[in-house]
A and B are shown apart, each in its own frame.
Chain A
Amino acid sequence: MAENQDSVLAAEYPLLSDQKALSLPKRPFWVITAERAFEWIIRLSGVSAILFVLAIFFFVFKEAIPVLFSENFNIVQFLFSTKWYPTSAVNVRYGTFSLIIGSFSVTILAMLIAVPFGLGAAIYISEFCEKRRKEMLKIIIELLAAIPSVVWGFIGITVMSKLIVNFTGAPAGVNLLNGGLILALMSVPIIVSIGEDALKAVPDSYREAALSMGATKWQMIYRVLLPAAKSGLLAAVLLGIGRAAGETMAVLMATGHSVQIPMSLIDSVRTLTANIAAELGEAPAGSDHYRVLFLTGVLLFCITFAVNLTADLVIRGIRGK
């Protein structure tokens, strides 16, 4: 049977039965080798992201390690003392508690402003906009995200601080409120774009089902859409927190920079990030002060790592469903 078919094929298509025509053309040896080598370079580049993250942790931690064994340093004091006297001659203290509180308070204030506005804007863009205006708003949000942090800081010390002095009567315009407002404006774009993605991921049939039951758009949004997009919106907020907590130049310029636990909105604060930026230039390389700053870097790295990992797991959770 098989032979029969072969002979029929050979009769109809003489070329097909010719084994030479069927064999693969050989590429030169060096072409194959070069391709192999190049594919290994591609693999290596792929792995490079892991290498870089590990390298960042390694090099920052490496510079910080010696201070852990210094007699002036104590890990409990580092985390829970409010006394930050790194350059004192007799009474050196490395307590970052007020810096941690500073970072937290600015981030929380920023989120209190940015989350409602960001999610509100995301809902507006995703649900209420016609197409042209939607495109325009998204472009503006993208441009908003592109403004460099040092320009935000500059806006903080010029425009925002004047407004704050005028409206609140605070003695100085650079304070917790200023930093919070600037950080809110900086983290809103990421909340809007990730939040809008989350809303877009809700199937249209959910919306149609709700509307056909006689729900208004607003009822549809808060009874159907928000619960359905819950985890995506949570991820948006988490990424916004990550952005705000890691921001350096804007808070360095806008928060006023005194090491204290803020008691009101118009108190000046200093954050972990701004502290490194402000003091690293003055700390002699290899000194305890210098190494403690690297240790704060490790702390920051761990905080943002945790936040980003959580956000990633939340997003992955949605895809998994």
Chain B
Amino acid sequence: MIQQQSNSSSRFTRTSFTSRKEWYETAAKWAFLIMAMSLVIPLLMIVGYLIFKASPSLSWSFLVDVPIRGMREGGIWPAFIGTLYLVIISLLISTPVGVLAAVYLNEYAKDNFFNRIINMAVINLAGVPSIVHALFGLGAFVYAAGFGYSIISASLTLAIMTLPVIIASTREALASVPMSFREACWNVGATRWQAIKAVVLPNSISGILTGIILQVSRAAGETAPIMFTGAVFFKAVEKGDLFPYQLTDQCMALSMHLYTVATQVPDVKESIPFATAVVLLGSVLLVNASAIALRVWLRNRKKW
């Protein structure tokens, strides 16, 4: 009777050589499994620990209350709404520029030296350390452009910082539209822009949306670039006020607030920094998860 065996080496006669090979194979497999799992399990444990420590403070009122007693108690409303301001304004600036840049790179650019330099610039822009972006924002927007320490300076800095994210994902979305779609348009006499407007963009809009969502999560989490351009430790705001800031005001931000309560303020109630971290982490992960869900859903209903 022939035994069904899945392991390729054991279809032959067992010798010390083959069994050693098998042993190595199993060992390697388990070693790599452990390596992969050692990335995943600590993450889950850490998130669980954060939530556990934060639980005394986590509630709806924590979100909509203002910090009191020098940020030692109370909620995070001004920081939360400040982050919202920064994210939305930076999004309004970087999305058009980023999408159009990606359209240029994917639809118009030929493969020549100049465009290779643009590609390299995008990659390097993504790699510039966040603190250098902060220095740039300080030098360019706060002083040279005269915006001062304000929401607009901070948003512009964030916008330039998150630009590579939107460029990369939009390019990917545009590149996934088959070339034949464009050729069909050109054949009936459409110009390049007409083809892009009528066929390429509508077919890649959800991919672009994914990129915008990723950009939101990136902008919401950054601390260093806004620290010296517009975010402050504390700003008095009414509880639950939806429009507390002017564009030229400084504002609080969630990430900055976490840094402040975790390192700068003495005698904070223990659960407050944990709860702030959980809110920040939760919103960023939620935004990312929705991007992933959108992508999976897209892939499943893709027609071509």
Question: What residues of chain A lie closer than 8 Å to B123, measured between beta carbons?
Answer: 308, 312
CB distance from A183 to the nearest CB of B (A): 13
Asked if B228 is an interface residue, CB under 8 A from chain A, the answer is yes
- Among A47, A140, A216, point to the contact of B8 (Cβ < 8 A): A216
Give the shortest distance, in Å, between A187 (CB) and chain B (any CB).
12
Q: CA of A45 to CA of B124 in the docked complex: distance in angstroms?
A: 16
Comparing B58-66, B173-181, B240-248, B276-284, the segment that makes contact with chain A is B276-284
Tell me which residues across on chain B come within 8 A of A81, comparing CB atoms.
Answer: none
Instruction: Please report the C-alpha to C-alpha distance between residue A245 and residue B132 in the assembled complex, in whole angstroms.
Output: 12
Q: Is B103 an interface residue (CB 8 A)?
A: yes
Most buried by B among A45, A159, A185: A45
Alpha-carbon separation in the docked complex, A148 to B104 (Å): 30
Give complex CA distance A149, B128 in Å.
15
A154 contacts the other chain (CB 8 A): yes
The answer to whether residues A216 and B132 also contact, given A52-B163, A151-B277, A308-B127 and a CB cut-off of 8 A, is no
Residue interface mask B31-64, A partner, CB < 8 A = 1 = 1110110111011001001100100000000000
Are A49 and B167 closer than 8 Å at their CB atoms? yes
CB within 8 Å of A: which of B259-282?
259, 262-263, 273-274, 277, 280-281
Q: Residue A217 contacts which of B28, B98, B263 (CB distance < 8 angstroms)?
A: B28
Is B185's CB within 8 Å of the partner chain A? Answer: no
Q: Which of B25, B38, B125, B273 contacts A53 (CB 8 A)?
A: B125
| Candidates B127, B131, B139, B259; contact of A253 at CB < 8 Å | B259
> Within A257-311, which residues are at the interface with B (CB < 8 Å)?
273, 276-277, 280-281, 285, 293-294, 297, 300-301, 304-305, 307-309
Query: Is the pair B118, A49 in contact by a Cβ cutoff of 8 Å?
Result: yes
Are A148 and B167 in touch, CB under 8 angstroms? Answer: no
* Chain A interface, number of residues (Cβ within 8 angstroms): 85
List of B residues within 8 angstroms of A24 by Cβ: 189
**For residue A214, which residue of chain B has the nearest CB?**
B9
Smallest distance from the beta carbon of A234 to chain B beta carbons, Å?
A: 16
Flag if B24 contacts A46 (CB, 8 Å): no
Shortest C-beta distance, B151 to chain A (Å), equals: 18
Taking the closest CB of chain B, its distance from the CB of A228, in whole angstroms, is: 17
Complex Cα distance, B280 from A180, in Å, reads: 23
Instruction: Collect the chain A residues with CB atoms within 8 Å of residue B22's CB.
Output: 216
Report whether B28 and A143 are in contact in the complex, using a CB–CB cutoff of 8 Å: no
Bound form: Cα–Cα A219–B24 in Å? 9
| B258 at interface by CB-CB < 8 Å | yes
A286 vs B19: C-alpha distance in the bound complex, in angstroms? 71
Contact across chains for B127 and A59 when beta carbons are under 8 A apart: no
Most buried by B among A55, A59, A62, A211: A59
Contact status B100-A137, CB under 8 Å: no
Bound Cα distance from A221 to B29, whole angstroms:
11
Q: Which residues of B contact A216 (CB under 8 A)?
A: 8-9, 21-22, 24-25
Instruction: State which size class the interface on B falls in.
Output: 35 or more
CB A307 to nearest CB in B, in angstroms, measures 7
Indicate which residue in B120, B144, B284 contacts A147 across the interface (CB closer than 8 Å).
B284
Pairwise interchain contact B127-A221, C-beta atoms closer than 8 A: no
Question: Which of A8-16, A34-42, A66-74 lies at the binding interface?
Answer: A34-42
B116-150 interface (Cβ within 8 A of A): 117-118, 120-136, 138-140, 143-144
* Contacts A216-B21, A248-B224 given; does A121 touch B36 at CB 8 Å: yes
- A residues near B284, Cβ cutoff 8 Å: 146-148
Residue in contact with A48 in the complex, picked from B42, B101, B126, CB distance below 8 Å: B101
Asked whether any CB of chain A lies closer than 8 Å to the CB of B288, the reply is yes
A300, B129: Cβ atoms under 8 Å? yes
- CB atoms of A124 and B124 under 8 A apart: no
Query: Which of B42, B223, B255: most chain A CB closer than 10 A?
Result: B223
Chain A residues, CB < 8 A from B84: none
B133→A49 contact, CB < 8 A:
no
Cβ contacts under 8 Å, B126 to chain A? 308
**Smallest Cβ-Cβ distance to A46: which chain B residue:** B104
Shortest distance from the beta carbon of B43 to any chain A beta carbon, whole Å: 6
Give every chain A residue within 8 A of B189 (Cβ-Cβ).
Answer: 24
* A49-B101, A120-B32, A153-B259 as given contacts; A142 in contact with B288, CB under 8 Å: yes
- Distance, CA A120 to CA B97, complexed state (A): 38
From the candidates B8, B24, B29, B136, name the one contacting A128 in the complex (CB within 8 A). B29
Complex contact B131–A140 (CB within 8 A)? no
Q: A143-B288, A218-B24 are in contact. Are A297 and B131 (CB under 8 A)?
A: yes
Which of B118, B132, B143, B222 is in CB contact (< 8 Å) with A148? B222
Q: Which residues of A contact B (CB under 8 A)?
A: 24, 35, 38-39, 41-43, 45-50, 52-53, 55-56, 59-60, 62-63, 116-117, 120-121, 123-125, 127-128, 137, 139-144, 146-151, 153-155, 157-159, 185, 188, 192, 211, 214, 216-219, 221, 239, 242-243, 245-249, 253, 273, 276-277, 280-281, 285, 293-294, 297, 300-301, 304-305, 307-309, 312
17 contacts between A and B (CB under 8 A): A39-B108, A56-B125, A56-B160, A59-B135, A128-B32, A143-B43, A144-B39, A148-B222, A148-B280, A154-B258, A192-B39, A276-B134, A276-B135, A280-B134, A297-B132, A301-B128, A312-B120
Smallest CB-CB A-B distances: 10 pairs: A148-B221, A46-B104, A246-B129, A120-B35, A45-B100, A218-B28, A124-B32, A308-B127, A59-B139, A121-B36
